[in-house]
A and B are shown apart, each in its own frame.
Chain A
Amino acid sequence: MKQDYLDHRGRPRVAVTGLGVKTPAGTDVDGFWSTIRAGKGMARTITIFDPSGLPVRIAGEVRDYDPVEYFGPKEVRRQDRVTHLGFGAAADALADAGELAADPARCAVIAATGVGGLTTLEENCKIYFERGASRVSPFFVPMMMPNATAGVISMSFGWTGPAFCVSTACAAGANAIGEGVRLIRDHSADVVIAGGTEAFTSITVAAFARMGALSASHNDDPEHASRPFDADRDGFVIAEGAAFLLLESLERARTRGARVYGEVTGYGRNSDAYHITAPSPGGAGAATCMQLALEDAGLTPGDIGHVNAHGTSTPLNDAAESEALRKVFDDAVPPVTSSKGVLGHMIGGAGAAEAVIALLSIRDGVVPPTANLERVGDDIGLDVVAGEARHIGSRPALSNSFGFGGHNATLVLTASA
């Protein structure tokens, strides 16, 4: 392998050559990116189910997506919403990548989710308790299992390499991409489709509301509910959605003449080992995770042009992440944005969608604004991009994702020279 195609540790450089999204901000990459750049919140009153009995009645929903176009009328009934979204995004990323000419045995799938087929789970639990065992769907298990999306992608693509699910809550989408990068680096696969997907149900909303994690004061003003880093933030907005990236070695991508969006040059992941939902004090775990990603990329903090933050809009996360960023960057933190102001929190899909955004930001040399940021919280102390997209040039980006369970994952994304 030519030296140019190896990274600072002698590993194959990993290119992103396909993108696919099914999100509240759009179901094709161009539409998605223009909505993200516009920086307007996409949360609305919930329509997927009747939310009238819930304390929080707003969410980010994926509109204008007909999964029948991807599955056909029979198969669409055999898959949960989480797989509808995930497979649609993965199929788009595959199509976007062009002719791969790959050995199917060397092609891998990593499909993340926080939980999996919750809609199916909720429906069948209700049926089981109300009407008994004989009414439970024979498709309950294959629709509900968290690895369903990975299995469906591998089957549909005819890919026989490794296919599996990463489930690390809100860090899962970023973990999927990072682990996919490792498959390419260690020559376990030539091509990897990696990303994450999530769908929510009424009990999800009820449960997150009971935790006090959701923004509860914007039922009549949903588009302004998710306000990362804002002084008046009061919780996150749940969202459904999926994003997938097609990964391959830069050498392979260049050889086949593929369009390269950028490279994933760094991946860090670690654990807080502190509390099942709260971040470790001072964002200590998150800070270490970012340092690991920078080391993996062979970069120093000064090389980073902007940060696509986890930025959930909860008081706790945004304060801890800010502290971690100030620690890692020694108080010279580059511009920060959080896409969750627009998207809400897609849980297992979030990290993948944000990696897509970071790549497009680098491609176009702009940092999209954080929706709804009016007054930066006193506990933040960062330069958070708000209002208009900011032109900064194509410098490397750092993208954070942190999950319940104390899971941290950070990606470094870089333009491909």
Chain B
Amino acid sequence: MEREEALSALREVAVEVLSVDGASVQEDARFKEDLDADSLDLVELVMGLEERFDISVPEEDLDGVATVGQAVDLVMAKVAAKA
């Protein structure tokens, strides 16, 4: 899967779950500071990504994920591991 495809999917989920402007969902955007997402928002965001990509992201894998780019890394790794 291309990185752009993963980012675009994450953007769609973020727009729905976080009610943010799609343009603000960039690689360097920080969930907490830039997208006003608390820990519960992140859990819901990840649930959306799990559905979208048919992957499973355990709670502990979210440690250290603070930016959109890091979340894209995580999603791509999970999708690759599935293949």
A residues within 8 Å of B by Cβ? 72-74, 77, 134-135, 137-139, 142
Contacts and interface: CB of A to CB of B under 8 A. Distances in A.
B43 A74 contact: no
B40 interface: yes
Contacts of B8: none
13 contacts: A73-B19, A74-B18, A74-B36, A77-B17, A77-B19, A135-B47, A137-B44, A138-B40, A138-B43, A138-B47, A139-B40, A139-B44, A142-B40
Nearest to B46: A138
Interface in B1-58: 17-20, 36, 40, 43-44, 47, 50, 56
A135 B47 CA distance: 7
Given A74-B19, A138-B44, A139-B40, 14 more contacts: A73-B19, A74-B18, A74-B20, A74-B36, A77-B17, A77-B19, A134-B47, A134-B50, A134-B56, A135-B47, A137-B47, A138-B43, A138-B47, A142-B40
User: Which residue, B17, B36, B47, has most C-beta atoms of chain A within 10 A?
Assistant: B47
Nearest to B36: A74
A134 B58 CA distance: 9
Contacts of B40: 138-139, 142
Contacts of A72: 19
Closest 7 CB pairs of A and B: A74-B19, A138-B43, A73-B19, A138-B40, A138-B44, A139-B40, A74-B18
Nearest to B37: A74
Interface of B: 17-20, 36, 40, 43-44, 47, 50, 56
A152 to B, nearest CB: 15
A125 B47 CA distance: 17
A77 B50 CA distance: 20
Contacts of B17: 77
A74 to B, nearest CB: 4
A206 B35 CA distance: 41
Contacts of A77: 17, 19
Contacts of B47: 134-135, 137-138
Nearest to B40: A138
Contacts of A74: 18-20, 36
A135 B50 CA distance: 10
A139 B47 CA distance: 12
A142 B19 CA distance: 19
A42 to B, nearest CB: 32
A72 B56 CA distance: 31
Contacts of B44: 137-139
Contacts of B20: 74
User: Which residue, A73, A135, A138, A142, has most C-beta atoms of chain B within 10 A?
Assistant: A138
Contacts of A73: 19
A47 B17 CA distance: 25
B31 to A, nearest CB: 13
A73 B21 CA distance: 12
Nearest to B20: A74
A72 B20 CA distance: 11
A123 to B, nearest CB: 14
User: Which residue, B17, B19, B36, B56, has most C-beta atoms of chain A within 10 A?
Assistant: B19
A72 B44 CA distance: 18
Contacts of A138: 40, 43-44, 47
Nearest to B39: A138
Contacts of B56: 134
Contacts of A139: 40, 44
Nearest to A139: B40
Contacts of A134: 47, 50, 56
B45 to A, nearest CB: 10
Nearest to A76: B19
A305 to B, nearest CB: 50
Contacts of A137: 44, 47
Nearest to B58: A134
A63 B20 CA distance: 28
A137 B18 CA distance: 14
B73 to A, nearest CB: 21
Nearest to B59: A134
A189 B20 CA distance: 38
A138 B20 CA distance: 19
A134 B56 CA distance: 9
B48 to A, nearest CB: 11
